[in-house]
A = this chain, B = another copy of it.
């Protein structure tokens, strides 16, 4: 069974695999933020009325396509999502990878259309939030509004990794380190993990040839920093990796 595109809204927003139960969704950034702010159960109930658990999507499934009308943002509950655009030469440009806990669709608010494509890299589950409903609710819940501002603001600075003119070693190191940290932030292992994307995808994202990614990984392995086995990855020397990534991540 494959899920519909994110743009499509389910007939009954509250009807998910959980039924109508107002269960707290632990991976939902907004709920968490609202709890932090000490909101009452009524407000949380409102919030959960506009949440839908969607998925699973399988590898290669389209989550939204460039040009689709914008209706919702979504938090990744499980799996990895890749966003990309196709330029006028027909070449793909990877814009980002989204791991559990991260939010997709934020860059679609302004043009009111998704400005890029999103596909599942593996088996993906999402929390879908109707944006119009959420914006409305945010006028009653300053904490939610602030959380939205925070998420949006956060994403503006995210381009640094890919924007700077750093060496291939620095870029790959910084990429791996941020993936590691993002996984760890969700309680997953940041020391050993599986890369759900190909060398081509990584290279495309970092503006490097896939061969260069391969060579850098080999070098990092020879230096005892990583153990790489195809897409299985273990960080052996976190300090050295951090040092390599330092200039990119400004630490």
Q: Are A107 and B157 in contact (CB under 8 A)?
A: yes
Known: A142-B139, A145-B138, A152-B152. A246 touches B107 (CB 8 A): no
Q: Are B85 and A250 in contact (CB under 8 A)?
A: yes
* Chain B, residue nearest A141 (CB): B139
A109 lies within 8 A of chain B by Cβ? yes
Tell me, in angstroms, the Cα distance from A162 to B158 when the chains sit together.
13
A30 to chain B, nearest CB (A): 14
Q: Are B153 and A163 in contact (CB under 8 A)?
A: no
* Chain B, residue nearest A109 (CB): B153
Q: Are B153 and A108 in contact (CB under 8 A)?
A: yes
Q: Which residues of B contact A41 (CB under 8 A)?
A: none
Known: A207-B165, A250-B85, A250-B87. A139 touches B145 (CB 8 A): yes
Q: Which A residues, 124 to 164, have Cβ-Cβ distances below 8 Å to chain B?
A: 135-136, 138-140, 142, 145-146, 148-159, 162-164
Q: Is the interface of A mostly helix, strand, loop or mixed?
A: helix
A1 to chain B, nearest CB (A): 32
- Chain A, residues 81-106, CB within 8 Å of chain B (1/0): the string is 00001011100010000000000001
Q: Are B157 and A88 in contact (CB under 8 A)?
A: no
* Chain B, residue nearest A136 (CB): B142
Tell me, in angstroms, the Cα distance from A10 to B32 when the chains sit together.
36
Known: A110-B150, A142-B135. A89 touches B156 (CB 8 A): no
Q: Max chain B CB contacts within 10 Å: which of A93, A146, A152, A159?
A: A152
